[in-house]
Amino acid sequence: MHNINTTKSVTVAILTISDTRNKEDDRSGQTIETLLQSKNHAILEYEIVIDEKSMIQDKIKTWSDQVDIQAIILNGGTGFSPRDVTYEAVSSLLDKQMDGFGELFRMLSYEEIGPKALFSRAVAGSIGNTAIYALPGSTNAVRLAMEKLILPTMPHFAEELVKK
């Protein structure tokens, strides 16, 4: 069995994608922050950008170029409305896509919300040495992804990305 490190602290940037939220009412971003802190991960950056592909990509590129940021967690903009462009912004930048992340997230979501889980375009992967996760903006979806998928595996993912 492959030994999975679940205790190593990871340095993370949080990006909320929203045309309407600010840091005071960004419950999903705050949930990510709280859950990361509960596992002793460090949050280096936390910002909100509007649903514009170029703005999302600029922030991801800037952060993924910073050696001290090991993971970027985005929330919002993963649905099908015309303004939802997070999936396109993220997936076109990924060096490697973690196909199982979206598949497993939708399966777990299905157990909670039924067939509406099909509408999630959650995606994860890597850009260079940086782990990338893009989650729906729903606080319940964020909590599910963080507790069941990201927190149990992110330290291992971060370690894998810097292996020689």
Of 36, 91, 96, the closest CA to residue 14 belongs to 36
Question: What pLDDT score was predicted for residue 1?
Answer: 43
Domain for residue 5, yes or no? no
Number of domains the chain contains: 1
Residue 164 has what pLDDT? Answer: 81
The pLDDT assigned to 54 comes to 98
Q: Which domain covers residue 151, as residue numbers? A: 11-161
Contact 106, 139 (CB under 8 A): no
Q: What is the dihedral of CA 124, 33, 50, 153, to 10 degrees?
A: 0
What are the 10-residue block averages of pLDDT along the chain, 164 residues in total? 66 97 96 98 98 98 97 96 96 98 98 96 98 97 98 97 90
Beta bridge partners of 43: 12
Residue 157 sits in a domain of what CATH number?
A: 3.40.980.10
Q: Are 10 and 154 in contact (CB under 8 A)?
A: yes
Q: Which amino acid is at 65?
A: D
Q: What is the pLDDT of residue 72?
A: 98
Tell me, yes or no, whether 1 lies in a domain: no
The helix/strand/coil state of 49 is: strand
> Using CA atoms, how far apart are residues 137 and 140, in angstroms rounded to an integer?
9
